[in-house]
């Protein structure tokens, strides 16, 4: 199965197969024999970054994907595919005006800088957003519930319990989105409200799925 097929049929698997993506041979950039290969691999890297972002959107991570989509556009604004990922990320996060604004920016950039007309996909996407096409609705993926009852009373969930921890996707997404933009976040709430479970069984597994490092430090 190709990488594109993995993204289309199982975006959760694609998140593990594709990421993270690093710049190739950065330490050899000044070596002439390596430059051609670096250019080829850079093209592969850019395409993989786009497929990885598409997988995040297909997995329902639209809010958390906005910052990454904006970075990809800044890095290579001439790649129309990146604008076609940024706009749905905004739209699916309830930001229709920003989605349309990004598409207008893409039109101006393509026309002014490259002298070309936007592609059919970008035009169709703009029309779909203005019409609130149901096909653009955010993806919803229900967590799998095992045969055993996942409810464990007052006992907390840990990083190994991610498959049984569900119902707090929006909160997990909000925490990860905030940490992608800031270095510190405190989770507060009443005793027994599930702060530790949210962090350990929700946020930590999502970090690891993206290739980020998560260290658990206890003060006792």
Measured in whole angstroms, the distance separating CA 77 from the mean position of its chain's CA atoms is: 18
What is the pLDDT, as a whole number, of residue 11?
45
Cα–Cα distances (Å) from 45 to 60, 70, 76, 135, in that order, read 23, 17, 12, 28
Write down the pLDDT at residue 65. 83
Give the DSSP letter of residue 30.
Answer: T
d(CA 177, CA 211): 15
Report the pLDDT value the prediction gives residue 128, as an integer from 0 to 100: 92
Q: Alpha helices, DSSP H only, in the chain?
A: 3-9, 11-18, 32-58, 62-75, 80-92, 96-109, 120-130, 169-181, 195-197, 204-209
Residue listed under structure tokens 């946020």: 203
pLDDT of res. 5: 42
Residue (of 186, 185, 144, 178) closest to 162 by Cα position? 144
| pLDDT averaged over 10-residue windows placed end to end, the chain, 220 residues | 44 46 58 66 78 82 84 88 91 90 88 80 91 83 52 68 78 85 81 80 84 75
Asked if residues 203 and 172 have their Cβ atoms less than 8 Å apart, the reply is yes
- pLDDT at position 9 is 45
CA distance 134 to 128: 9
Give the model's pLDDT for residue 47. Answer: 82
Residue 82: both structure tokens together: 């990146």
Q: Please, are residues 82 and 73 in contact by the beta-carbon 8 Å criterion?
A: yes
pLDDT at position 153: 56
- 189 torsion bin: left (phi>0), alpha (psi -120 to 50), beta (else): left
The pLDDT score that the predictor gives to residue 12 is 45
Q: Which residue has the tokens 């093209």?
A: 43
**Nearest of 125, 105, 7 to residue 57 by alpha carbon:** 7
Token couple for 104: 């207008």
State whether the Cα torsion 202-203-206-207 is positive or negative.
negative
pLDDT of residue 101: 92
Dump pLDDT digits (tens) for 78-112. Answer: 888 989 999 999 999 889 999 999 999 998 888 87
User: Rounded CA gap, 116 and 119, in Å?
Assistant: 9
pTM (2 decimals)?
Answer: 0.48
Integer angstrom CA distances of residue 142 from 60, 76, 130, 177: 10, 34, 28, 20
Q: What is the pLDDT of residues 56-82, one digit of tens each?
A: 888 788 787 888 889 888 888 888 898
């Amino acid at each position: 199965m190709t990488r594109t097929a993995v993204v289309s049929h199982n975006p959760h698997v694609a998140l593990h197969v594709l990421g993270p993506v690093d710049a190739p041979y950065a330490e050899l950039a000044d070596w002439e024999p390596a430059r051609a290969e670096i250019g080829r691999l850079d093209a592969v890297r850019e395409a993989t970054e786009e497929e990885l972002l598409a997988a995040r959107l297909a997995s329902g991570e639209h809010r958390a994907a906005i910052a990454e989509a904006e970075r990809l556009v800044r890095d290579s604004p001439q790649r129309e595919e990146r604008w076609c990922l940024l706009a749905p990320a905004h739209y699916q996060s309830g930001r229709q005006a920003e989605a349309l604004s990004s598409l207008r920016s893409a039109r101006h950039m393509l026309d002014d800088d490259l002298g070309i007309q936007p592609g059919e996909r970008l035009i169709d996407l703009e029309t779909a957003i203005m019409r609130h096409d149901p096909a653009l609705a955010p993806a919803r993926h229900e967590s799998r519930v095992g045969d055993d009852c996942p409810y464990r009373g007052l006992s907390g969930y840990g990083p190994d319990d991610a498959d049984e921890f569900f119902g707090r996707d929006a909160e997990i997404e909000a925490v990860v989105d905030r940490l992608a933009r800031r270095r510190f976040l405190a989770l507060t709430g009443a005793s027994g409200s599930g702060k530790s479970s949210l962090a350990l069984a929700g946020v930590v597994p999502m970090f690891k799925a993206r290739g980020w490092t998560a260290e658990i430090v206890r003060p006792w």
